[in-house]
Amino acid sequence: MKKNKKSRKVGLFQIVMLGLSSIIGSGWLFGSWEASRVAGPAAIISWIIGAIVIGAIAFNYIELGSMFPESGGMSKYAQYTHGSLLGFIAAWSNWVSLVTLIPIEAVAATQYMGSWPWKWAHWTHGFIVNGEISNLGLFVVFLFILVFTLLNYWSVNLLAKFTSFISIFKLGIPLLTIIMLLLSGFHGGNFASQGFMPYGSAAIFSATTASGIIFSYNAFQVVINMGKEIKNPKRNIALGITISLAISIVIYVALQFTFISAVEPSVLAKVGWHGINFESPFADLAIMLGLHWLAVLLYFDAFISPFGTGVSFVAQTSRTLAAMVQNEHMPKFLGKMNERWGVPRIAMIVNMIISVLLVSLFRSWGTLASVISTSTLIAYLTGPVTVTSLRKMAPNFKRPIRMRMLQFMAPFAFVLASLAAYWAMWPTTVKVILVILLGLPFYFYFEWKTNWKKTKTQFTGSFWMIGYLVFISVMSYVGSTPFGGQNWIPYPLDFVVIIIVSLAFYRWGISSSMVSTDLHNAKVVNDQINLDAYEDEPTDENKEDK
């Protein structure tokens, strides 16, 4: 029995494959095109910056995830240290980002269908109109969302056995695309014909968030949420995230390099990088170069890549919403688990309905990617503050994985997340913040039901975040022109202001932490950790020696 129990645990290879399966979704199909339109050849740098941002943020959550190995943990960490209001804001922001991810994968598949070149498939050409999903295309998107949901409705692990296979396939097609496009249509002059940075250095940062680069990399919480189900988690959680992110950087940078070099120079000379307009970027390039067989593979992969990501995130999103019920600011029926299949079916259905509404409002891949990136960053801002606060408030808590250099990495990640939220550009930043604030009526309704007993105290732990959201909204408006602002604070002075003020909010956030029943609840979860489970397991050779 002991042997069988250990055999169920996931090894490093499976963790890396799981991470890659989540990271390599629709981002590779559209990200290079979107980024090159914003920054030109300098978009290569944008992908590196995006990876640094996500890597720095993930650094903080590795320690938190090991301390609280619970389902939907990302929705609870902030509440443990700063009370229910901040916990609600962080959980709602995280949920908004996840629930938006479901329709974006459906949009990606539908958009590639909209450019099928075959005669029998002309009926799909009406799916995209002026770069957005049409009403006919919306119907197809709805069907994809329904399929994503149904595949999780009976079992959250339905496709778990095929994760490694899907990951290898999802890796193979991008690599094959890179090789074939470089061999068939490399135009080195594209990197300099209009300048390496045709739209200035500010565009490099803008592309990082506005073009879906942050969105493309963001999947590390899938690994963290698995916690002690991983073999040698003390070693493999951090290593799995690092390896999967490193492989992703190589793939995404190579894809960006390939896209820039494969564009026909005559087309580039006419319209510039801003004017490059593709519905199915890499498939369109393959057809232009006469690689029709590669285009067919790409159209096929436009189902596989978004499909694998969409299905996996339906499960995670439903558990995130169900976890918010435990914070006592969401209706209890959302957290009800199906006894037979072990999935929160009602939460799953609610997420499906919200996904349909979101895609009806935001009908393009680029817009949805920007919404996901910004809401994710706002949710992640609480991580560096929370992990640092716990070091001071609860030094005796069990920490299976204790990250070094946290004193530097926590404020560094907070500043990077602040800058990246600003890079989303006005008015996207403010729109996402307003969507996040739309969740507050739920919070205040449940506070009213408890006669406002602890509301004032909860505000004490959250004033810093409320002030921060006001600051980043105002900064987005008065900031420099490259980021959609009024240029009252020109570039790069706007970056200096954000860095200084963000560090002040970071310090304010740490000083706002408070000891409450939420911290007691955190201790209950933390006490359940078996530190022996996080120790390195002996190899087969060592077992034989023993």
Q: What is the pLDDT of residues 210-254, one digit of tens each?
A: 888 988 887 777 777 666 567 777 778 888 888 988 999 999 999
Q: What is the pLDDT of residue 480?
A: 94
Domain assignment of residue 219, yes or no: yes
Residue of 502, 500, 497 whose CA lies nearest to 414: 502
Mean pLDDT for the chain overall: 83
On the 0-12 / 13-18 / 19+ scale of CB atoms within 10 A, 279 is middle
Domain assignment of residue 289, yes or no: yes
Domain assignment of residue 352, yes or no: yes
Share of the chain above pLDDT 70, in %: 89
Q: Which of 50-59, 169-178, 333-342, 502-511 has the lowest mean pLDDT?
A: 333-342
In whole angstroms, give the CA distance from residue 27 to residue 29: 5
Domain assignment of residue 5, yes or no: no
- CA 394 from chain centre, in angstroms, equals 29
Tens digit of each residue's pLDDT (9 = 90 or more) over 300-332: 888 777 776 777 777 777 777 777 777 677 788
Q: How does DSSP classify residue 230?
A: B
Q: What is the pLDDT of residue 410?
A: 96
Tens digit of each residue's pLDDT (9 = 90 or more) over 513-525: 988 888 888 888 8
Domain assignment of residue 534, yes or no: no
Parallel, antiparallel, or unpaired: how do β-strands 132-133 and 128-129 relate? antiparallel
DSSP labels, 305-354: HHHHHHHHHHHHHHHHHHHHHTTTSS-GGGGPPPTTT-S-HHHHHHHHHH
First-to-last alpha carbon distance for the chain, in angstroms, is 19
In whole angstroms, give the CA distance from residue 151 to residue 154: 7
pLDDT of 348 higher than 50:
yes
| CA distance readout (Å), 413 to 52, 58, 318, 503 | 9, 9, 27, 10
Token readout for 135 is 């009403």
Query: Residues 330, 441: contact at Cβ < 8 Å?
Result: no
Tens digit of each residue's pLDDT (9 = 90 or more) over 167-211: 667 788 899 999 999 998 899 999 998 889 999 999 999 999 888
Banded model confidence at residue 430, pLDDT cuts 50, 70, 90: confident
In whole angstroms, give the CA distance from residue 476 to residue 338: 44
Query: Residues 388, 398: contact at Cβ < 8 Å?
Result: no
Q: What's the whole-number mean pLDDT along residues 294-299?
A: 88
Banded model confidence at residue 29, pLDDT cuts 50, 70, 90: confident
Q: How does DSSP classify residue 203?
A: H
Report helix, strand or coil for 531.
helix
Domain assignment of residue 539, yes or no: no
Number of domains in the chain: 1
Pick the residue with more confidence: 496 or 230? 496
List CB contacts of 91: < 8 A, sequence separation 6 or more. Answer: 74, 75, 76, 78, 79, 320, 323, 324, 327, 379
Q: Could you identify the residue written with the tokens 């891949």?
A: 365
Report helix, strand or coil for 262.
helix
Domain assignment of residue 542, yes or no: no
The 10 Å Cβ neighbour count of residue 75 is 29
pLDDT of 67 higher than 70:
yes
Q: What is the pLDDT of residue 341?
A: 57
Instruction: Look at the chain and count its residues.
Output: 546
> E strands along 434-517, which residues?
none
Q: What is the pLDDT of residue 338?
A: 65
Banded model confidence at residue 502, pLDDT cuts 50, 70, 90: very high
In whole angstroms, give the CA distance from residue 75 to residue 368: 22
pLDDT of 543 higher than 50:
no
Q: What is the pLDDT of residue 161?
A: 52
Helix (H), strand (E) at residue 129? strand 128-129
Report helix, strand or coil for 363.
coil
Q: What is the pLDDT of residue 541?
A: 41
The 10 Å Cβ neighbour count of residue 258 is 21
In whole angstroms, give the CA distance from residue 298 to residue 112: 9
Helix (H), strand (E) at residue 128? strand 128-129
Share of the chain above pLDDT 90, in %: 30
In whole angstroms, give the CA distance from residue 82 to residue 526: 17
The 10 Å Cβ neighbour count of residue 407 is 10
List CB contacts of 327: < 8 A, sequence separation 6 or more. Answer: 75, 76, 79, 84, 87, 88, 91
- Residue 324's domain is classified under what CATH number? 1.20.1740.10
Q: What is the pLDDT of residue 22?
A: 74
In whole angstroms, give the CA distance from residue 416 to residue 419: 5
Residue of 100, 102, 96, 97 whose CA lies nearest to 147: 102
Q: Own/partner pairs for 124-133, CB < 8 Å, 24+ apart? A: 128/279, 131/277, 131/279, 131/364, 132/363, 132/364, 133/107, 133/359, 133/363, 133/364
Q: What angle do CA 27, 29, 31 make, to 5 degrees?
A: 50
* Sign of the torsion formed by the C-alpha atoms of 495, 500, 501 and 502: positive
Q: What is the pLDDT of residue 222?
A: 73
pLDDT of 368 higher than 80:
yes
Q: What is the pLDDT of residue 389?
A: 94
Tens digit of each residue's pLDDT (9 = 90 or more) over 377-415: 888 899 999 999 999 999 999 888 888 899 999 999 999
List CB contacts of 169: < 8 A, sequence separation 6 or more. Answer: 301, 304
Domain of residue 260: give its range. Answer: 12-528
Tens digit of each residue's pLDDT (9 = 90 or more) over 130-152: 778 888 889 989 998 888 888 77
Q: What's the whole-number mean pLDDT along residues 329-343?
A: 71
Domain assignment of residue 81, yes or no: yes
Radius of gyration of the chain (CA): 23
Phi, psi of 404 (to 5 degrees): -80, 165
Residue of 480, 73, 35, 537 whose CA lies nearest to 258: 35
Q: What is the pLDDT of residue 539?
A: 45
Q: What's the whole-number mean pLDDT along residues 6-27?
A: 74
The 10 Å Cβ neighbour count of residue 398 is 17
pLDDT of 5 higher than 50:
no
Banded model confidence at residue 6, pLDDT cuts 50, 70, 90: very low
Residue of 250, 277, 258, 283 whose CA lies nearest to 109: 283
Token readout for 72 is 């939907």
